[in-house]
Amino acid sequence: MQIIVDIGNTDAVFGLYTSTTWQYIWRTPARRDEPAQAYERRLRLWLLEAGIPLSAIETTVLSSVVPDLTPTMRAMLTDLFGNDPVVVGPGVYPLLPIEVLRPHEIGADLVANALAAYTRYQRTCVVVDFGTALTFTTVSAEGKLLGVAIAPGLKTAIRSLFANTAQLPEVPLEVPESALGTSTTHAIQAGVILGYEGLVRSLVGRIRAELHGDCIAVATGGLSGRIPSLQDIFTDIVPSLTLDGVRLIGELVTASQQQTS
């Protein structure tokens, strides 16, 4: 069994993977001010509730886009399971079957998305990740990471309105019936959620046009199902795609280490 950890700007996601599938996926807020012991307690409790002894975890893999949390989580995994996790970063990218664009600038989650899409589909693909940021990561059928587009995520956009305006409330992420908002809540939902439908369609369409149409689109991320009207542009919706990519990176790095030992 493996524990795969993906630390984003909003949540830290922990996945328990057996030989063929995700048995459990747990989420907790990614708080920079929490000590390693707090995350350790949560992980111990999750494993206890699942009936999984610590000794059953063979390997751990860590991906993080929050530098302040990376050493905290790395220390926690090492102390809890007795071995250092594989940490996703520029040092391991040469071991991957994809060519990573600007390895010291690109987020580990985007590399994981690209690898997972390349491995799963073997076609030119744009991965649209609905998270704290809305990201578009395009990888070619030959395994070259072609480029990335980044916009604020759905919740980020709504929270920004709430935080930076005096009279606009924070509203739930629900699709309104009309683009003609008849209340403040519906007006924000129309502007953000329906507006983001146009944003996603436009960017995916432009990416496909620049690649002469030979590009499938795949959605992932915790908010990937919040705009049902977008489903027609996606070949697949895989909420666990980023975790899949982190897991694959860990397996490739571990295999390389075993070959050289």
pLDDT at 177: 87
pLDDT at 174: 83
The CATH code of the domain at 2-87 is 3.30.420.40
Look at the domain 98-244 and name its fold.
Nucleotidyltransferase; domain 5 (3.30.420)
pLDDT at 183: 84
Q: How would DSSP label each residue in 194-254?
A: IHHHHHHHHHHHHHHHHTTT--EEEEESTTTTS-GGGGGG-SEE-TTHHHHHHHHHHHHHH
pLDDT at 118: 97
C-beta of residue 8 within 8 angstroms of C-beta of residue 30: yes
pLDDT at 217: 97
pLDDT at 123: 95
Per DSSP, helices labelled H in the chain are 36-50, 70-81, 108-121, 154-164, 184-189, 195-210, 241-260
* 3-class state of residue 256 by DSSP: helix
Give the integer Cα–Cα distance in Å for 190 and 188. 5
Residue ranges of the chain that CATH labels 3.30.420.40: 2-87, 98-244
Task: Give me the active site residues, please.
Answer: 109
Kindly give the confidence (pLDDT) of every residue in the chain, 261 residues in length, as a single tens digit, with 9 standing for 90 and above: 999 999 999 899 999 999 889 999 999 999 988 889 999 999 999 999 999 999 999 999 999 999 999 999 999 999 999 989 999 999 999 999 999 989 999 999 999 999 999 999 999 999 999 988 999 999 999 999 999 999 998 888 878 776 666 566 677 778 888 889 888 888 888 888 888 899 999 999 999 999 998 899 999 998 787 788 888 999 999 999 999 999 999 999 988 877 776
